[in-house]
Amino acid sequence: MKIKVALIGNPNVGKSLIFNNLTGGRSHIGNWPGKTVEKKEGRCIYNGVEMEIIDLPGVYSLTAQSIDELIARDYIIEEKPDIVIDIADASNLERNLYLTLQLMELEVKLILVLNKMDIAENLGYNIDVEALSKKLGIPIVTTIATEGKGMDELKKIIAESIHREWKAKKISYGREIDELIFKFEKLIAVERQFSTKYPTRWLAIKILERDEDILKKIKKSRNLDEILKNIDESIKVLGDEPDVALAEKRYEWISSILPQVLKGIRPVTLSDMLDKVFLDKHLGIPIFLSLWWSLFRFTYDVSAPLSDLIDIFFNRLGDIVKEYISNEQLASFIADGILGGIGGVLVFLPSILFLFFGLSILEDSGYLARAAFVMDKLMYKLGLNGRSFIPILLGFGCNVPAIMATRTIKNEKDRVLTIVVNPLISCSARLPVYILIGGAVLGEYATAGVYSMYILGIVLAVSMALLFRRIIPFFKSGRTPFIMELPMYAKPILKTTVIHMWERGSLFLRKAGTIIFLGVISVWFLSTHPWGSPIEETYIAILGKILEPLFYPLGFDWRGAVALFFGFIAKEIVVGAFSIFFGFGGEGEEESLKQYIRTHKIFTPLTGYAFMAFTLTYIPCIATLGAIYRETGSWKWVLFTVTYELILAYTVAFTIVTAGHLLGFT
């Protein structure tokens, strides 16, 4: 016998952590709302009972206004899990119970989990669990997911639930509204197409709320005319915003029972105090910029010894290969192609791991949510909608998950806008290019150069968003109010931070072994054939020379042009390609790649910087284009992104070169 169990709850309450605890799964955990945007499945066996457990996106309500809410609600209504586990944050009962009430109305078999009991206790809250359970009419389990506390109890109660029945209490909305609900209920109950599929009272409430999704479904009703007539009448009682009126009633109900089950008032916490500083009206954004600067110094400078070790390792290995393999082609394939090309990319593994380590600390500590908050406030003032900055900050890691994170944005136009500007946010794949070129030509300003690329990315993304909103009719929309819930700060735990870092870092390794490998090997092949000819006469040079005129005004030679061309597959290939081009010819083994670029004037500080900016902007990688297509469901937006980014990249690089010349740089 297998039971289907759904985990649902507000964002950031610990659903995924509980899911991982129960199933041994690997759902992403972090300290900001909106991480899980797709449902995840796992398995768990307790006392011979097999459970299929589903981790759902976090939702505040079941109104189906955004994609994540729709996923969660549809799952519960359409898939009908045997048990629904509502996970609530015990330190924030009032808000969390709102969802509980809606689940009770859905008449599912419901268990309430009060998680984060440790935080609730620290805040001095005292929850009368038994009384609350009686008031709601559902069983309650208390847990501390971070310590694994209460997990066995939870499994037990789920396993036993097959033999138990219980009914949640009905919430009264007051006589007048209750009567309206009853009227709709009677109309629906006679139709089997509805009554077998949905709980009738819930459906009645949704009709009363004029839920768009439900009104569409109700169109098939035989009693449609009468239902519509009743809806018109209900306006007299509920006014223009019936969902708001009903929400108020639910909150009233919650406030009426809370004092009976919850003792203690929320004191001022350390989180409140830190927020005074980190969300400070004037200092919030400067603090964000300095912390981000420290992240890049950490990424760039502290990882340097490890990168150099890897570099030396691959160089030695290449020497050995060339010495012992007599077949010239094979030796070149292994030494220059595989070791040179892939080695040239892997050298950046430490930097990428350090970046992810830093990002994970910012994420787990709760600061990421604050950074997004202060920036969103600014964006809102600029006329953009809030809630877009979490995807932007996630883009620093990788644009693909960042684009998926836009699912929490309610307004579809804002969502698409956030998606199409996201590739401008500098992901970790572009980091190697900055480090290589910046390190080669910017000297002491290398880190500043890298950092400025990230800032440039943000500035460009915001400017483009503003521009598109102005000039493209599709994006014109009213502003939705900006609310964002901030989690409590938490001390990052080394183990989870390292796991996070590794999860993301291993993706990079997998990429290096697959798509980057193929790209780099192609570059090697094209740059060594026809075999034996000098590099200027190889296939790749022919391709490069075709592209070169395009890039001539920017000061990139054919090698830069070709590297960018292959970087379209994955941006890491740009450094792999350079490493192959400049690794040849045995110009004295001592000379490192960076030195070669500098001494042979492949780039000047100015054209190098323009090249970095061009790499930042020019085109999203294939994976990102795929994500744009999946999330917008249209090739139109993919094409749009590619086009505007190419134009923008050229404009930006050209501006940098021209302005630099005017200022007297070469």
Partner 1 sequence: MEIKNGKLLTIYISILSLLYAATGILEIISALLNLIIGIGLSWIPPDLFGGFSALVISAIFFKAIFPWRRRKKANPYLLGATLMSMIFGTLYILIFIATGIDAYIVNEEWKWITDLMRPEIWLAAASTPLTYMAWIKMLKEFKGKAN
Ligand X SMILES: Nc1nc2c(ncn2[C@@H]2O[C@H](COP(=O)(O)OP(=O)(O)OP(=O)(O)O)[C@@H](O)[C@H]2O)c(=O)[nH]1
Q: Interface residues with ligand X (CB under 6 A)?
A: 9, 11-17, 29-31, 33-36, 58, 115-116, 118-119, 144-146, 364, 490
Q: Which of 292, 258, 598 is nearest to 456 (CA)?
A: 292
- When the beta carbons of 365 and 399 are compared against partner 1, the nearer one is 365
Beta carbon of residue 138, minimum distance to ligand X (angstroms, whole number): 19
Which residue(s) pair with 51 in the sheet?
Answer: 3, 44
Q: Are 348 and 307 in contact (CB under 8 A)?
A: yes
Contact flags string 302-331 toward partner 1, x per CB under 8 A: xxxx--xx--x-------------------
- When the beta carbons of 233 and 301 are compared against partner 1, the nearer one is 301
Beta carbon of residue 576, minimum distance to ligand X (angstroms, whole number): 35
- When the beta carbons of 12 and 497 are compared against Mg ion, the nearer one is 12
- When the beta carbons of 35 and 571 are compared against Mg ion, the nearer one is 35
CB-based contacts of 582-585 (< 8 A; 24+ apart in sequence): 583/318, 583/336, 583/340, 583/344, 584/336, 584/535, 585/535
By CB under 5 A, name the binding residues for Mg ion.
Answer: 15-16, 35-36
Q: For residues 252 and 534, what is the distance between their CA atoms, to the nearest angstrom?
A: 81
Q: For residues 18 and 56, what is the distance between their CA atoms, to the nearest angstrom?
A: 12
Is residue 589 part of the contact set for partner 1 (CB under 8 A)? Answer: no
Beta carbon of residue 132, minimum distance to partner 1 (angstroms, whole number): 22
Contacts of 452 (CB under 8 A, 6+ apart): none
Element (DSSP H or E) covering residue 141: strand 140-142
Binder of partner 1 out of 225, 236, 444, 531 (CB under 8 A):
444
Which residue(s) pair with 127 in the sheet?
Answer: 262
633: phi then psi, degrees, rounded to nearest 5 = 65, 25
Instruction: Give the SS3 label for residue 41.
Output: strand
- When the beta carbons of 356 and 451 are compared against partner 1, the nearer one is 451
Is residue 662 part of the contact set for partner 1 (CB under 8 A)? Answer: no
Is residue 287 part of the contact set for partner 1 (CB under 8 A)? Answer: yes
Measured distance between the N- and C-terminal CA atoms of the chain, rounded to whole angstroms: 74
CB-based contacts of 298-303 (< 8 A; 24+ apart in sequence): 298/354, 298/358, 299/351, 299/354, 299/355, 299/358, 299/431, 300/351, 300/435, 300/446, 300/447, 300/450, 301/447, 302/354, 303/350, 303/351, 303/353, 303/354
Beta carbon of residue 267, minimum distance to ligand X (angstroms, whole number): 17
Binder of partner 1 out of 46, 251, 298, 525 (CB under 8 A):
298
Q: Are 386 and 482 in contact (CB under 8 A)?
A: yes
As a dihedral over the C-alpha atoms of residue 462, residue 468, residue 474, residue 478, rounded to 10 degrees, the angle is 50
Q: Which does 118 bind (CB under 5 to 8 A by kind): ligand X, Mg ion, partner 1, none?
A: ligand X
Instruction: Give the SS3 label for residue 115.
Output: strand
Q: For residues 167 and 440, what is the distance between their CA atoms, to the nearest angstrom?
A: 69
Is residue 659 part of the contact set for partner 1 (CB under 8 A)? Answer: no
Q: Are 503 and 401 in contact (CB under 8 A)?
A: no
- When the beta carbons of 45 and 283 are compared against partner 1, the nearer one is 283
Q: Which does 30 bind (CB under 5 to 8 A by kind): partner 1, Mg ion, ligand X, none?
A: ligand X
Is residue 553 part of the contact set for partner 1 (CB under 8 A)? Answer: no
Contacts of 191 (CB under 8 A, 6+ apart): 221, 222, 223
- When the beta carbons of 99 and 512 are compared against ligand X, the nearer one is 99
Is residue 614 part of the contact set for partner 1 (CB under 8 A)? Answer: no
Binder of partner 1 out of 153, 212, 301, 319 (CB under 8 A):
301
Q: Which does 119 bind (CB under 5 to 8 A by kind): partner 1, ligand X, Mg ion, none?
A: ligand X
Beta carbon of residue 651, minimum distance to partner 1 (angstroms, whole number): 25
Q: Which does 116 bind (CB under 5 to 8 A by kind): partner 1, Mg ion, ligand X, none?
A: ligand X
Beta carbon of residue 269, minimum distance to Mg ion (angstroms, whole number): 23
Q: Which does 192 bind (CB under 5 to 8 A by kind): Mg ion, partner 1, ligand X, none?
A: none
Q: Are 419 and 632 in contact (CB under 8 A)?
A: yes
- When the beta carbons of 311 and 631 are compared against ligand X, the nearer one is 631
Beta carbon of residue 470, minimum distance to ligand X (angstroms, whole number): 33
- When the beta carbons of 130 and 280 are compared against partner 1, the nearer one is 280
- When the beta carbons of 44 and 346 are compared against partner 1, the nearer one is 346
- When the beta carbons of 16 and 23 are compared against ligand X, the nearer one is 16
Beta carbon of residue 102, minimum distance to ligand X (angstroms, whole number): 16
- When the beta carbons of 33 and 449 are compared against ligand X, the nearer one is 33
Q: For residues 341 and 324, what is the distance between their CA atoms, to the nearest angstrom?
A: 20
CB-closest chain residue to ligand X: 58
Beta carbon of residue 595, minimum distance to ligand X (angstroms, whole number): 44
Sign of CA dihedral 651, 656, 659, 662: negative
Binding site for partner 1 (CB under 8 A): 124, 267-270, 273-274, 276-278, 280, 282-283, 286-287, 289-291, 293-294, 297-298, 301-305, 308-309, 312, 444-445, 448, 451
